[in-house]
Amino acid sequence: MKSSASTNSKRDCRAGAPPAITDATTAASETLALQVKEKARAIGFDLVGVTNAHAPRHAQGFQRWLASGFHGEMGYMAKSAEKRIDPSKILTDARSVVVVGLNYFCEAPREGTRPTAGRVARYAWGGRDYHEVMGEKLGRLAAAIDECGGPGTRSLWYVDTGPILERDLAQRAGIGFIGKHTNLINRRLGNWILVGEVLTTLDLLPDEPEREYCGTCRRCIDVCPTRAIVAPYRLDARLCISYLTIELKGAIPVELRPLVGDHVFGCDDCLEVCPWNRFAKLSPVREFQRREMPPLTEFLSWDERKFRDFFRGTPMLRIKRRGFLRNVCVVLGNIGEAAALPALKRALADPEPLVREHAAWAIEQIQSRCLGIKSAV
């Protein structure tokens, strides 16, 4: 095959044709890449690109980020650091990474529903965890890649859960660029994109990396309530509201509670303001469509079973009832009115100490703000 390609190359050069694809191996890897991309689109991914399995560009930056302690309690990040910066440590003989993106942009809640419901990060609006939605599609893609490669091909898929610097790989695969808010942006879809990847032993022709297009903009940096984006492309997760309301298991630091505002699960503030979102398109994926949430005070009366029944299959289940009610109390403390006090007072007897402590804080905030009663402490 190779020698035949060389022969073709000589013939083309003599004829004055551009020496486009001159190597049979390259031609084969290009054909395979095209087949894989076609499969990915047929499965429903909005974006697909290919890169090699070399170390991500920001491997060293990631290690410096860890050394600064910016990952907070996300110990799993440090634990898997070696794998995150070397895909071949995840899949021996990995040659390529197929990176896919799924648009999850859907309608914003009606104005006026926010004060009682609190705000939830957009990826969690639907009735099903995106890890499952993406996982199902990625599993099908990995199987299709193995089929394209034939016997001996091995592939492994990840969505968020894997020890991979996925945004880095996504930029290198050409499906978007990392914004100053550290999330992926696609020039046709904005930043409402879920990223997943399939590592494979198959040789696929890589795509051209995407350039960066933030320019002089710094809206996401300026809008962050906790100033968590400490420098362009550098996030101190310990300050990020997504971290405080999802990753942090214990109490939310008292000084940060007022800054959490009405964010009851995650935060999209830096994503919302990105000007690239003028290109966002509504996602047709049913599982991402928004479902109504009850008023915040209602959650406080829910026991473990009711909580599980309502949030089964959603990302909220991850933080458990105690984490979610902790957040509910903080939001009520920030935006709740005197009408929320009876529910919060009942929560003072909650079986979870974490909930009791945050309920007491919320009561103080509301009493001080709405009734002018100052704390005795």
The residues that are catalytic are: 160
Nearer to ligand SF4, 40 or 270 (CB): 270
Which residue has 């020890």 as its token pair? 163
Nearer to ligand SF4, 64 or 218 (CB): 218
Residue 257 engages ligand SF4 in binding (rule: CB under 6 A): no
Nearer to ligand SF4, 29 or 183 (CB): 183
Residue 274 engages ligand SF4 in binding (rule: CB under 6 A): yes
CA atoms of 95 and 375, how far apart (whole Å): 62
Answer for the pair 61, 10: CB distance below 8 angstroms, yes or no.
no
Residue 234 engages ligand SF4 in binding (rule: CB under 6 A): no
Residue 233 engages ligand SF4 in binding (rule: CB under 6 A): no
- The SS3 assignment for 50 reads strand
- The 154-183 site mask, x for binding ligand SF4 (CB under 6 A), equals -------------------------xxx--
- The SS3 assignment for 291 reads coil
Cβ contacts of 150-154, under 8 Å, gap ≥ 24: 152/201, 153/200, 153/201, 153/202, 154/91, 154/93, 154/200, 154/201
Interacting residue with ligand SF4 among 10, 188, 218, 346 (CB under 6 A): 218
Residue 81 engages ligand SF4 in binding (rule: CB under 6 A): no
CA angle 74-68-60, nearest 5°?
90
Q: In the bound complex, what is the minimum distance in angstroms from residue 91's beta carbon to ligand SF4?
A: 31
Q: In the bound complex, what is the minimum distance in angstroms from residue 175's beta carbon to ligand SF4?
A: 16
Sign of CA dihedral 190, 282, 199, 157: positive
Answer for the pair 6, 26: CB distance below 8 angstroms, yes or no.
no
Residue 225 engages ligand SF4 in binding (rule: CB under 6 A): no
Q: In the bound complex, what is the minimum distance in angstroms from residue 183's beta carbon to ligand SF4?
A: 7
Contact residues: ligand SF4, CB under 6 A: 179-181, 214, 217-220, 273-276
